[in-house]
Chain A
Amino acid sequence: MNVASLLVELVLMPLVAFVVGLAMVLMMRRIAARLQRRVGPPFFQPLFDIVKLYGKHTQTSHGLVHDLGIVMAVGGYIAAETMLPVPGMTGIADKGGLVVLAYVMMVPSLGLALGVGQCANPNGSIGISRALTAMLAYDVPFIIVIFGVAFHFGSSNLITIAAAQQAAGIAGWGVSQMPLLALAGLFALHGMLGKQPFEIYVAPAEIATGPMVEMSGKHMGGLFVMQCFQLYTAAVLYVTLFLGGGENWLSFLAKSFAVLAVPVSLAYLFPRYRTEDLVRLMWKWPTMIGLLGLAFLMH
């Protein structure tokens, strides 16, 4: 691959991710609205929100680290997008692989923690400590799942994993080969999205949206962009690991949206867990299911 086409892919992949992510945010909000028997937001609402936030006249920044934290939060996901193969584009996926991706996906939370730290708002600190604890909780099943998939396909390269599944057909998909790991992965994915019932770190009525409490204007806009990337990354990673990746854009997008619709539809049906209950739940069920899945794989 020559440099020019690689550069084009590095620019295009995050852009595509952003546009798909906007649609995913819309889907999430529409599902929530339908479950609550509302009409829901108009089609371009996620875009309006982001443009509005970036178009604010005045801006409150609490210092350099506050600004850099947002850059890290968005940048971490932009880096992750270039390592997720999509139909027709692989970017630097063959250089990165699952392990680097798992690391890069932690950068946004750490960046947010840095940024929120400088705001010195107690609600923000409580929120971010809860968010990092939650990360500790869902990362254990997440790592087990990643390890299991890499073990099964004998590679941590996402392109190889997707290609192996596509060659073998539906019977060779991760979800048919490793149903227990797929289930644990769905659990971890739900935790990663930070949606109800795992959104104690946001808790709007209690700690005033936690990490987001001091974010205004462009900072908040950055976080809205981050949310688009977050939904996209989680869904596409799951599709690549368990649902055969993308042969073409149509089936790829259909699978990604379907994966995301599961946790999002479940989300609005349950009240939230407390942090310690969340850790207990994550370390018990998905971890146990994941370990069981691993045992079957290795047997």
Chain B
Amino acid sequence: MTSLSDIPVIQTPPEAPARGGNPLANVFDDFIRYCRSRSLFMLHYCTGCGAIELPPAMTSRFDMERIGIQPMVTPRQADILLVTGYVSVKTLKRIILTYEQMASPKYVIGICSCTVNGGMYWQSYATAKKLNDYLPVDLYIAGCMPRPEAVIEGLKALRDNIEAGTSDNWKDYYQRYDHYLGNQQRLFGADWQTPTEVIAEAKHYGLFGPDTLGEHTRRLEDHRKPLEPLRMTLNAGRLEHME
């Protein structure tokens, strides 16, 4: 757990070669991938101290918008989930909920040493240590805390990875869901469930892998309670009172 070599490096095969030898066959895909790399909406989950380096990176000094990165405020709209620093167990639940609501392709960036290995909170009982045990992290920007230059460099690296088609870790979350769910259950208990149907999504979008299902997803089946909408009522007493 402490060695760098334990962190899995996910090798994704390059995009399929041009069909039928036609050099223009992938033009459309390439164009979309280029646009994807040039337009990134960022949701910053700023509970760690690294968040303090983001305002300078966003505003007039370093100006993220010139490389096409904009802040967005809801997970539905966002492409990048930026986790800025230490992640407590309680926070991690919210981060996972947020991540699962984002539309793919989505990317996770861990800023600060605390997301890499726990950093100075290594001995804390309340923090999750390695972010990519629980979510497929695309890029780490290490430092305690990284300067805005480093943040911008990291974002540019992500942009280049997306353009080259090597940043596909969001597929890994679907294809090895059992692995991620297992780590989540280890931390949150066996009855952990999120409102998003990751397995059904994997099936629907053709992202089902051999490791999507496993012992942990079976445990999920056992514990899962069907989600019910909250009953909507008007508080009659208060209405009377208001009249």
A: which residues have CB within 8 A of B? 29, 33, 36-42, 44-45, 47-49, 51-52, 55-60, 204-205, 208-209, 212-217, 220
Contact with B39, one of A38, A45, A205, A208 (Cβ below 8 angstroms):
A45
Q: Please, how many angstroms separate the alpha-carbon atoms of A60 and B103 in the complex? A: 7
Secondary structure of the A contact surface, majority rule: loop
- Asked if residues B60 and A37 are in contact (CB atoms below 8 Å), the reply is yes
- Asked if residues A38 and B63 are in contact (CB atoms below 8 Å), the reply is yes
- Which B residues touch A58, using CB under 8 A? 103-104, 201, 205
- Asked if residues A60 and B76 are in contact (CB atoms below 8 Å), the reply is yes
- Which A residues touch B72, using CB under 8 A? 209
Of the candidate stretches B29-37, B107-115, B124-132, B218-226, the one touching chain A is B29-37
- Which A residues touch B39, using CB under 8 A? 45, 48-49, 51-52
Q: Is B55 an interface residue (CB 8 A)?
A: no
Q: Please, how many angstroms separate the alpha-carbon atoms of A201 and B135 in the complex? A: 33
Contact with A52, one of B36, B65, B201 (Cβ below 8 angstroms):
B36
Interface string of B29-53 (1 = CB under 8 A from A): 0011011101100000000000000
- Which A residues touch B205, using CB under 8 A? 57-58
B: which residues have CB within 8 A of A? 31-32, 34-36, 38-39, 59-60, 63, 65-66, 68, 72-74, 76-77, 79, 101-105, 201, 205
Q: Please, how many angstroms separate the alpha-carbon atoms of A51 and B38 in the complex? A: 10
Closest Cβ–Cβ distance, residue A13 to chain B (whole Å): 26
- Which A residues touch B73, using CB under 8 A? 204-205, 208-209
- Which B residues touch A205, using CB under 8 A? 73
- Which B residues touch A33, using CB under 8 A? 63, 65
Q: Please, how many angstroms separate the alpha-carbon atoms of A269 and B101 in the complex? A: 35
Which residue of chain A has the shortest Cβ distance to B75 in the bound complex? A216
Taking A56-B104, A58-B205, A220-B76 as known contacts, 5 extra A-B pairs with beta carbons closer than 8 A to each other, sorted by chain A number, are A29-B65, A40-B65, A48-B34, A51-B32, A220-B77
Which residue of chain A has the shortest Cβ distance to B36 in the bound complex? A52
Q: Please, how many angstroms separate the alpha-carbon atoms of A215 and B101 in the complex? A: 11
Contact with A57, one of B59, B60, B74, B105 (Cβ below 8 angstroms):
B105
Closest Cβ–Cβ distance, residue B163 to chain A (whole Å): 12
Which residue of chain A has the shortest Cβ distance to B232 in the bound complex? A120
- Which B residues touch A51, using CB under 8 A? 31-32, 35, 39
- Which A residues touch B102, using CB under 8 A? 216
- Which A residues touch B60, using CB under 8 A? 36-38
Which residue of chain B has the shortest Cβ distance to A32 in the bound complex? B65
- Asked if residues B59 and A216 are in contact (CB atoms below 8 Å), the reply is no
- Which A residues touch B66, using CB under 8 A? 38-42
- Asked if residues A215 and B77 are in contact (CB atoms below 8 Å), the reply is yes
Which residue of chain B has the shortest Cβ distance to A123 in the bound complex? B74
- Asked if residues B32 and A39 are in contact (CB atoms below 8 Å), the reply is no
Instruction: Please give me the 7 A-B residue pairs with the lowest Cβ-Cβ distance, nearest first.
Output: A216-B76, A51-B35, A48-B39, A55-B32, A39-B66, A37-B60, A52-B39
- Which A residues touch B68, using CB under 8 A? 41-42, 45, 48
- Which B residues touch A204, using CB under 8 A? 73
Contact with B103, one of A40, A49, A217 (Cβ below 8 angstroms):
A217
- Which B residues touch A39, using CB under 8 A? 63, 65-66
- Asked if residues A55 and B63 are in contact (CB atoms below 8 Å), the reply is no
- Which B residues touch A55, using CB under 8 A? 32, 35-36
Q: Which of A29, A37, A41, A59 has the most chain B CB atoms inside 10 A of its CB?
A: A41
Closest Cβ–Cβ distance, residue B39 to chain A (whole Å): 4
A–B Cβ pairs within 8 angstroms, 20 of them: A38-B63, A39-B66, A41-B65, A41-B66, A42-B38, A45-B65, A45-B68, A48-B38, A51-B39, A52-B32, A52-B36, A52-B38, A52-B39, A55-B32, A56-B103, A60-B76, A209-B77, A212-B77, A216-B103, A220-B76
Q: Please, how many angstroms separate the alpha-carbon atoms of A63 and B104 in the complex? A: 19
